[in-house]
Structure 1
Amino acid sequence: MKTTKLFSRFITLFLLLLFGMAIGAKSGGLDTLRFSIFLVILGVLSWLHIKMMRKKFARYHNAAIP
């Protein structure tokens, strides 16, 4: 479980860094269409990450309940 939590935190940090990079790229001159596509891709990756982690942690949480 410790490895899973560490991996989850690492991926969350990585996704936050990607969102920051997207905002920096927008202020650096990235056009609106490519910025929108980049944010949609990041949003889908974030949604998948949250869905997988909730499913994985729910398994551990429910195992402790008798």
Structure 2
Amino acid sequence: MNDLLNVVLARIYIVGVITVAGLAFLIFYALRDPLSKVPGPWYTKWTSVVIKDHWLKGNRASYQHSLH
């Protein structure tokens, strides 16, 4: 039973390290990207879900125009 617990804890540790490294990479990339200096909503550095949602609704052009 103790060996199983060690295996589970080791896997949780590995997943945690990979997750933290991935988040650090994403944050570093988002802050160093030349386009990060372009004005706009803060969340556009991290995701394009909002613009895709407006595209699916058919009002992407008016949404982008409202940002200007």
TM-score of the pair, normalised by structure 1:
0.47
Larger radius of gyration: 2
Larger RCO (CA under 8 A, 6+ residues apart): 1
TM-score of the pair, normalised by structure 2:
0.46
Structure with more helix by fraction? 1
